[in-house]
């Protein structure tokens, strides 16, 4: 679901991924489609040398949001930054007046040896 207006955002909520770029002096990476961004549950699963591109945080005021919505949003943001991998953070649903769904930071990464796989994933 896309948020079209501020009023719609207030009424329904819209998950948002924020990025903190880790090395702004690095050359800009080519964008990768979301399907080309490989998911990892922790850094030991990557298995290849990589560079950390950005720290991603996600939140949604809608307490019914699920992890699928979070992953979709984070994959898109990581790909927009040129990352072809994403080390996922933990997620939690916070209780409050309206509730909220948030994640601990995920790390968008670039794996040089994985560019062929990510290009192939984006062609399909």
Q: Where are the domains of the chain?
A: 13-123
The mean pLDDT of 20-49, rounded to a whole number, is: 92
- Give me the CATH code for the 13-123 domain, please: 3.30.110.70
pLDDT surpasses 60 at 118: yes
pLDDT digit string, tens, across residues 43-54: 999 999 999 999
The reported pTM is 0.78
* Closest alpha carbon to 65 in 28, 15, 19, 20: 15
């Amino acid at each position: 679901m896309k948020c079209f207006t501020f009023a719609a955002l207030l009424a329904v909520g819209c998950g948002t991924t924020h990025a903190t770029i880790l090395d702004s002096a690095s050359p800009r990476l080519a964008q990768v489609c979301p399907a080309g961004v490989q998911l990892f549950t922790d850094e030991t699963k990557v298995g290849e040398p990589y560079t950390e591109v950005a720290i991603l945080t996600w939140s949604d005021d809608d307490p019914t949001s699920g992890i699928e919505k979070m992953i979709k949003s984070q994959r898109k943001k990581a790909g927009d930054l040129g990352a072809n991998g994403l080390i996922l953070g933990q997620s939690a649903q916070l209780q409050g007046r309206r509730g909220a769904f948030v994640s601990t930071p995920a790390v968008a990464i670039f794996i040089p040896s994985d560019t062929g796989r990510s290009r192939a994933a984006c062609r399909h």
